A = this chain, B = another copy of it.
Amino acid sequence: MKINENFLKIQNNYLFSDIAKKVAAYKEANPSADLIRLGIGDVTRPLPEAVTEAMKKAVEEQETVEGFRGYPPEYGYDFLRSAINRNDYAARGVSLSDDEIFVSDGAKSDCGNIGDIFSVDNLVAVCDPLYPVYVDTNVMADRSGVLQNGLWSNFHYMPCTAENGFLPQIPDKKVDIIYLCFPNNPTGMSITKEELAKWVAYANANDSLILYDAAYEAYITSEDVPHSIFEIEGAKSCAIEFKSFSKTAGFTGARCAYTVVPHELKRGGVELNALWGRRQATKFNGVSYITQRGAEAVYSEQGKQQVRANIAYYQNNAKVIADGLRKAGFTVYGGVDSPYIWLRTPDDLTSWEFFDLLLHKVQVVGTPGSGFGPSGEGYFRLTSFGDSEKTREAVARIVSVFSD
């Protein structure tokens, strides 16, 4: 019996595990240290009351013979698919049918599992830096080649740095599958409709597929930044979109997301909607009824207000971090349409040197930019998902290190 040898290529290379180990070692050596974590992008505000009330009601239904619901539909309950469609698409002028929306347990699952429906033989284009899941899942699927200086030989990399405004350059050759994430993780930068339209045009001209990760769209404040790639004309024939309730409504612990695969999207004469439907019906069994009722409540009037309040709380943190560090002389990106702050490490420190410095000197945990790819070297990611007081305190601590 033979294992998938591709797994061995990446086995000891997972960014957040590495950080967790360093932090654990520090805590063991300094048990009384007062750490502030602005590293992993996990929310901290409780679930909105509209959501928990809906969940409790759903649990109560599950207690009774009449109300009990067994296997959920593999693609999500109609009530949720239709609420997503009305609120996240129709309300923005995007026309979808409910069966183009697939509810799942998380955007990470979908971003990883979507590769099942593609041939191994595809040229993958990714931004650098990037969310590691895009790369790792393609390494597992044998699309990567070998690792050379932190880059996989078979991928087409698109560096995103201050020099190009953190916007990937459109490839000068034909690529097959393009991962785009806007608002971006980790850089916190967004893309305008005008710029995104160029990608849609490229993909349609080259029969490429765009995998569009819009997990952070709820943080968009700029007028000309699209909340969905389907706001761009022509996107339905070249894009799949991933969205999540995690960052929008605090569902990191409740697990609910959705993926949009338009019927217009065909390759080799086959609808990708049918392929993804087949994949999900075969290897997935739907999302908890209780969770789906909670997700539906995100779109109630009360739910919308409570969700906006949580996002405003995080947006204020983003402003506190960006303003505070900028005032102290840091070069800071992101944080406007995104919960992520991407800063230039001072004094030519490497990302990991800066990580170690903050951990050991002021007990602030962030994420080294180089962990997201070679072009992230010299950058550092902070998230706005923390407690507001602690976020202020973290900024003061970071500033203190460089004001000595």
Give the interface segment out of A69-77, A326-334, A350-358: A69-77
Given A70-B252, A288-B254, A289-B253; A3-B137 close (CB under 8 Å):
no
- Collect the chain B residues with CB atoms within 8 Å of residue A252's CB: 70-71, 285
Chain A: number of interface residues, binned into ranges: 35 or more
With A70-B252, A278-B11 known to touch, is A113 a contact of B1 (CB < 8 Å)? no
- In whole Å, how far is A41's beta carbon from the nearest beta carbon of chain B? 9
Fill in one digit per residue for A58-78: 1 if any B CB lies within 8 Å of its CB, else 0. 011011110111111000000
Number of identical monomers bound together in the oligomeric complex: 2
Q: Is the CB of B119 within 8 A of A2?
A: yes
CB distance from A259 to the nearest CB of B (A): 14
Shortest distance from the beta carbon of A26 to any chain B beta carbon, whole Å: 20
Residues of chain B within 8 A of A117, CB atoms compared? 3-4, 7
CA distance A250 to B118 in the complex (A): 35
B284/A109 in contact, CB under 8 A = yes
A and B contact pairs by CB, cutoff 8 A, 27 listed? A1-B207, A2-B118, A2-B121, A2-B176, A7-B275, A7-B278, A7-B279, A11-B278, A40-B71, A42-B71, A43-B70, A45-B68, A46-B65, A62-B254, A68-B250, A69-B253, A72-B253, A72-B255, A105-B255, A105-B287, A106-B284, A109-B284, A112-B282, A137-B283, A254-B288, A288-B290, A290-B290
